[in-house]
Amino acid sequence: MSSSDHAAGRNQSTGTAHAVLSATADLPAPWAAVCGASVDVVQGKWNGPRGLGSADPCRECRRLTGS
Ligand SMILES: [Zn+2]
């Protein structure tokens, strides 16, 4: 698993960015992050500004994706 295989998801209530498997990001909502958290929106790549580059990327998602 690498960070480029993931999309950036966001939990609206906490503002935390989570990593979502690219394969599941194409499916309709709801989505689940690799850490198990639910996300409300999926926007862009996990290794982009809305994922790792955001203000609050999920620590567990970073660990699980090795990023
Ligand atoms: Zn997460």
From the CA of 4, how far away is ligand 1's center (Å)? 15
Domain enclosing residue 17, as ranges: 3-58
Asked whether residue 63 is assigned to any structural domain, the reply reads no
Asked whether residue 66 is assigned to any structural domain, the reply reads no
Q: Nearest Cα to 40, choosing from 63, 22, 5, 15?
A: 15
From the CA of 14, how far away is ligand 1's center (Å)? 11
From the CA of 37, how far away is ligand 1's center (Å)? 6
> Can you tell me the distance from the alpha carbon of 11 to that of 15, in angstroms, rounded to the nearest whole number?
5
Asked whether residue 48 is assigned to any structural domain, the reply reads yes
Q: Say if residues 8 and 20 touch (Cβ distance below 8 Å).
A: yes
Asked whether residue 65 is assigned to any structural domain, the reply reads no
Asked whether residue 30 is assigned to any structural domain, the reply reads yes
> Can you tell me the distance from the alpha carbon of 31 to that of 66, in angstroms, rounded to the nearest whole number?
20
- Element (H or E) spanning 59, and its range? helix 59-65
Structure tokens at 49: 């500004």
From the CA of 36, how far away is ligand 1's center (Å)? 7
pLDDT at 3: 59
Asked whether residue 19 is assigned to any structural domain, the reply reads yes
pLDDT at 1: 53
From the CA of 48, how far away is ligand 1's center (Å)? 15
Count structural domains, the chain: 1
For 6-65, how does the pLDDT look when each residue is reduced to its tens digit (9 = 90+)? 999 999 999 999 999 999 988 988 899 999 999 999 999 999 999 999 999 999 999 999
- Answer whether residue 2 shows pLDDT above 60: no
pLDDT at 30: 86
